[in-house]
Structure 1
Amino acid sequence: MILRPGCVHGPGSEGWTARTARLLRAGRLGDLGASGDGACNLTYAPDLAAAVVAALRAEGARGGVFNVSDPEPGTWNAYFRDLAIAIGATPVRRLPGWRVRAEGLAAYPLKVGEFLGRKAGVRTPDAVPPSLLRLFAQEIVLDHRRADAGLGFARTPPAEALREAAGWFLRAG
């Protein structure tokens, strides 16, 4: 069987919770306008774990392929706004197009700095690569129905998942 999760967020998620929260705090993410109106196919980490357990137990799961993601994804702009509010990174400002493009261009030297910083034990600013910026605009929605019908696992309500993710980030510092 194959499980294909969306963007895994929640406690322990460096990419979709911690990095996003740091970028929001720094004012480097926010309302991206039309560039952030794509579908935000999130998967809450504990829900993914529940899906894995359910898949191992489900008789009909063998050989199946299941998308595990939020059944009603919002936009990236909504996720950024809600996470920013939950971690106290407000106000959430609208970033002009030139600023979004500049983040994409800055990604290359920031990734080099990240690599060198890791070797030196120094934390460097997070990169927002162009591929990520393109993702924020994509209107592709993962079809979760087969996972829901075939695995039968319980999902955490999105507002609760966001509170847990934000709480983890705030506790982790």
Structure 2
Amino acid sequence: MTQVAMPVGAAGQSPAVPRCVFITGASGFIGRALAQRYRDLGADVRGMDLHADLANNVVAGDLTRPESWSEHAKGCELFINTAAVVSLSASWQEYSDVSARGVRNCLDVAIASGAKRFVHFSSIAALGWRCKGVADERNEVVIGDVYRYGVAKGASEHMVLAAHAAGEIDCTIVRPGDVYGPGSRAWLTEPLKMAKAGQLVLPNGGRGRWTPVYIDDLLDGVMLAAGLSEGRGHIFHISAAESVSVGEFFSSHWRWAGRSGAPRTVPLWLALGLTSLIWRVCLLLKKPNETAPDVMRMFARTGEISIDKARRLLGYNPKMSLAEGLRHSEAWLRETGQLS
């Protein structure tokens, strides 16, 4: 059995294991992995999610109604907010409720519970889908009436930084790249289903840039950001060292599905038009659907993401190569019966 240990920082230091950790979105892909890692290190881990999981000390609740779960966070030393609107087609109202008012609710609960550090999960989506060059944490966040998920994430960062600036609680913001690995629904299970059905279609020849980060590398980065004093008041990109094309990443899913070649592609303008039509029809029929224009914008992302700041201040160093990470992912898909 592999010994679980805290990652080592830039100066050879390791964060202390927090006595008690509270995680929102604790049953999600990232939240569950974080909870297990902290639990393996000996921390008392509690959490909340939309559905209770009492076996893992997770109560039911959502960010807009903190009164249903705030007592469960009492006495936590570290509060990590991973809960979010996991959609690229939600309404502005839903994003506002969760990414603005909901994040402020989390801050209030963390402060009342006596937490020493608040870690907020944002996303590289806050930078938008048309970055130029190599984007670091100083780049502007996206604004506008499209790419709503990214706009909402940028707004959520404002809530957290304002609380830190006011001295309410020490805060840290993490912007993960495209997190994948065993357990990933968004970037393993769902794309594989689409590939099997022949419905995995990418815009612009699959040339968009993808920033895959393996779940174990993400956990190392988050623990360094959450546990080291160097993380206080900062935003960190926690991703892979290099990006790849969207086509390269999702060609693995195409191959796993038993298909030859690469996923089909269409021009971005056509992809936006078709998905916009499908999205509007689904809205009229009141049928939730993730076939939305912002999905195509995400797959057409440009630019690169710098992790130099996390390397310099935290000693973050992603270890898993994409080839090895995809091998682990394929093995998990086979073990869970998603691949024969």
Shift of 1:34: 2.1
By relative contact order (CA 8 Å, sep 6+), the higher-ranking structure is: 1
Specify the alignment match of 2:313 in structure 1.
Answer: 150
**2:277 aligns to what?**
105
Correspondence 1:5-154 to 2 at 5 A: 5-30=176-201, 32=202, 34-85=204-255, 87-91=256-260, 92-97=262-267, 100=271, 101-103=273-275, 105-107=277-279, 115=288, 127-154=290-317
- Cα 1:51–1:133 shift into 2, 3 Å: same
Q: Which moved more, 1:156-165 or 1:105-114?
A: 105-114
For 1:16 and 1:113, how far apart are their aligned partners in 2?
Answer: 26
Question: For 1:36 and 1:142, how far apart are their aligned partners in 2?
Answer: 18
TM-score, normalised via structure 2 length: 0.42
More helix by share: 1
Assess if the C-alpha contact under 8 Å between 2:213 and 2:240 holds in 1. yes
How many matched pairs? Answer: 161
Hey, what's the Cα distance between the residues in 2 that align with 1:27 and 1:99?
A: 18
The alignment partner of 2:175 has SS state of strand
One-letter identity of the residue aligned with 1:89: G
Partner of 1:123: none
Compared with structure 1, are the counterparts of its residues 42 and 57 closer, same or farther at alpha carbon in structure 2 (3 Å cutoff)? same
Shift in CA distance, 33/135, structure 1 to aligned 2, threshold 3 Å: closer
Greater strand proportion: 2
Identical counterparts, % of pairs? 26
Q: CA deviation at 1:63?
A: 1.5
**Structure 2: where are the runs of 5+ without partners?**
1-171
Unaligned runs of 5+ in 1: 116-125
**CA–CA distance in structure 2, aligned partners of residues 2 and 106 of structure 1:** 35
The CA RMSD over aligned residues, in Å, is 2.7
Offset, 1:99: 7.6
Does the CA contact (< 8 Å) of 2:254 and 2:263 recur in 1? no
Please tell me whether residue 171 in structure 1 is matched to residue 335 in structure 2.
Answer: yes
Return closer, same or farther for 1:34/1:167 CA change in 2, 3 Å cut-off.
same
Partners of 1:106 and 1:25 in 2: CA distance: 21
Report the TM-score when normalising by structure 1: 0.77
- Shift of the alpha carbon at 1:132? 0.9
Deviations along 1:85-105, one digit per CA (max 9) or x if unpaired, are 3x2432134334498454553
